[in-house]
Amino acid sequence: MTRLSVNINKIATLRNARGGDVPSVTHVAVKAQEFGAEGITIHPRPDERHITRKDVYDLKPLVTTEFNIEGNPHRPFIDMVLDVKPEQVTLVPDADNVLTSNAGWNTKEHLDFLTEVIAEFKNGGIRTSIFLDPNPELVEYAAKTGTDRIELYTEAYASGYVQDRETAIKPYVETALRAEQFGLGLNAGHDLSLDNLKYFADNIPSLLEVSIGHALVSEALFMGLENTIQAYRKRLVKW
């Protein structure tokens, strides 16, 4: 079954809006795992507008499933990840001023840079994943970097799902099959929700992990965190 990693950035956003430690990102991480999450994802940014550097270190001993740290591999980020040693690092090419991640890597253009960065992480014993648009051509270059996995950027799928889900998912299936050919593990994330997740998970071959935050936290306002996590896990079951 595909693993569910819960992104808790939105918990930190809510906390930071008021200051203090309510809601506590560490408490939510612990409870999310108790409720069935198979991983915790965070995406610290340089301006610390949600997850802070302190959060990264506070969470490390509390994540007993899988710790996934996402981010743009600037030097301070690289050094922090090498120090914390999560199970996985996901490289995302987001600019400092973007509201949220809005594109994957051009692995052909940034091949040399990604190869160097990934070598550092792998030498540190950390599994690597590259955030990638659904483009089969870029998979070959991702494989050349030495990465362990790619993470499919699913915003386009989520946007097109209501109008024509078969058309929306087609490039993702093609990219996933290409990843299989190159022996790359496959993750996915961004704008996946209770509405669109099952169709995606049922049709994408060899999907190892999904990372979901914004929709999951939003739905938990009405359903409760435990019920929401269990609902997501049910969407990932293949009968």
Q: Annotated active-site positions, please?
A: 43, 70, 190
Structure token digits, residue 114:
């990604």
Distance between CA atoms of residues 130 and 186, nearest Å: 10
Q: Following DSSP, what letter does each residue of 93-140 receive, concatenated?
A: ---TT-SS------TTTTHHHHHHHHHHHHHTT-EEEEEE-S-HHHHH
Q: Is the separation of the CB atoms in 81 and 123 below 8 Å?
A: no
211: exposed, middle or buried (C-beta count within 10 Å: 0-12, 13-18, 19+)? buried
Instruction: Measure CA 167 to chain center.
Output: 23
* Counts for the chain of helices (H) and strands (E), in that order: 10, 8
Closest listed residue to residue 211, CA positions, set 151, 157, 156, 165: 151
For residue 17 the two structure tokens come to 């809006």
Kind plus residue range of the DSSP H or E element containing 200: helix 197-203
